[in-house]
Amino acid sequence: MVVTRFAPSPTGYLHIGGLRTALFSYLWAKKNGGKFLLRIEDTDKARNSQEATDAILRAFEWLGLEHEGEIIYQSNRDEIYAQYIKQLLDEGKAYRCYMSKEELTELRESQMANKERTKYDGKYRDFDGTAPDGVEPVIRIKAPLTGEILVRDGVKGNVSFQAEDILDDFVIARADGSPTYNFVVAIDDYLMGVNEVIRGDDHLSNTPKQIVVYEALGFDLPMFYHVPMIHNSEGKKLSKRDGATDVMAYKEMGYTPASLLNFLVRLGWSHGDQEIFSMDEMQDLFNPKDINKSASIYNTEKLDWLSSHYIKNTSNAELAKLLEQYGLILTSHDKKEILLDALKDRAKTLKELAELTNEIIVAPISYDEKAVKKAFKEDSIEVLNAFGAKISSCDELHLPSDYHHLMEDVVNEMGIGFGKIGQPLRVALLGKMSGPGLDNVMAIIGRDETMLRIANAITVHS
């Protein structure tokens, strides 16, 4: 059974790169009928934030990425880690190091002066003397001093590290007894049954140390997949300006879970030329071995294109529910279908759809100056008065076609082009020159509101 995990640290928001890793892990587990687990790596008590933890869980709930079983919190597992530290000490695979901070600093400065790699020199590796006074020891693991550490990676292939170039006897427990990252990650992954680890390739340098822990404890190694980073259009690390922001900010910006997940799955993975994937298709087609070896490029235009696609293909009933987060209650609106049909092709995000909706259902309180200058000519008031009179004489106006026929009547009777009525009427109804078809707008707001907006525009611009 394939068991994957996502293991964020609650020291900040869940960003887009972390979410992609979670998605890849989720899809691979689901494809294989396995388990996707969630672990909160909250051992850094000084930097941990309950608010950050809550934000991570909200993001998973919003996106529908359900994990199996209980959430594992590392902060609750100190006794487990202590047992394995004791085991390694008892087996002679780890030892207490009494080197003071001052000694360690002096050693590193000397190595730097000699242009050597800074590393612990193994002073206490085989120490059997009397412990020095006043020094609380750290626990170091006995790492191999020579030889090869081989990382079998499903994305990058076999990656070889020379022990003497990258390893020293690294600390697995600090002087206060708290365990270190690479130690607890290996233990937790093993105890949770995680056998396939998908994570960013910024973790690749940690992997040899974790392999040392696995082997010292006699644990079976998982399969690793190190996913290349997401870069901006300039090939640099993502910044907040580029999109490396809190995942929940994407909800606030008006992206749907489906569009965001579809966008992420294509950052570094592909299936031919296919761009649109349902969740079922993602689960069926995804394979981490097909992840690109090079960094992927974040493209906001692509996200907007996907978002607009999903909005266009979402039912009006569902869109009405989604728009409630913006204070729009359309479920009982009698012109909901006309309204959303008129606007859903024009919006890239739900937020934009909400703004476009409000521009129709809320009467303008001001008029765009450039639009007024372009639309209101000598005869514009006369045309609007004629159209207003036509509307007031008709009691049965419901469909867009009903209003369109009245516009045609005025055009024919006054011998003018459609622009002569369309431009001033658009400004009167919306306060600007852009927007959906006027017949749709009038059908949505209704006869009385149409007459009122025309009368207000005539009063202001006469």
HSE value, Cβ hemisphere, 13 Å, CA-based, for 233: 7
Q: Rounded CA gap, 390 and 40, in Å? A: 67
- Is 427:433 a contact under the CB 8 Å cutoff? yes
What is the residue-wise DSSP string for 245-290?
S-HHHHHHHT--HHHHHHHHHTSS---TT-----HHHHHHH--GGG
Q: Rounded CA gap, 340 and 38, in Å? A: 38
Residue 340 buriedness (CB in 10 A; 0-12 / 13-18 / 19+)? buried
- Is 264:236 a contact under the CB 8 Å cutoff? no
Give the CA-trace dihedral at 10, 51, 245, 224, to 10 degrees.
20
> Using CA of residue 232, residue 238, residue 242, residue 244, what is the dihedral sign?
positive
DSSP-based three-state secondary structure for 137: coil
Listed in sequence order, the DSSP H helices in 72-162 are 78-90, 101-113
Of 114, 104, 253, which Cα lies nearest the Cα of 169?
A: 104
The response to whether 240 counts as a known ligand-binding position is yes
> Using CA of residue 164, residue 166, residue 167, residue 168, what is the dihedral sign?
positive
Integer CA distances (angstroms), 54 to 59, 85, 248, 249, in order: 9, 31, 11, 14
Of 269, 276, 341, which Cα lies nearest the Cα of 302?
A: 276
Work out the angle at residue 258's Cα, subtended by the Cα atoms of residues 292 and 38, and round it to the nearest 5 degrees. 70
Other C-beta atoms lying within 10 Å of the C-beta of residue 350: 25
Residue type, 325: Q
> Using CA of residue 21, residue 27, residue 33, residue 37, what is the dihedral sign?
positive
- Is 417:379 a contact under the CB 8 Å cutoff? no
Other C-beta atoms lying within 10 Å of the C-beta of residue 85: 19
Q: Token pair for residue 118?
A: 């800074």
Q: Rounded CA gap, 251 and 255, in Å? A: 5
Residues tagged in the binding site annotation: 240
Residues tagged in the binding site annotation for ATP: 240
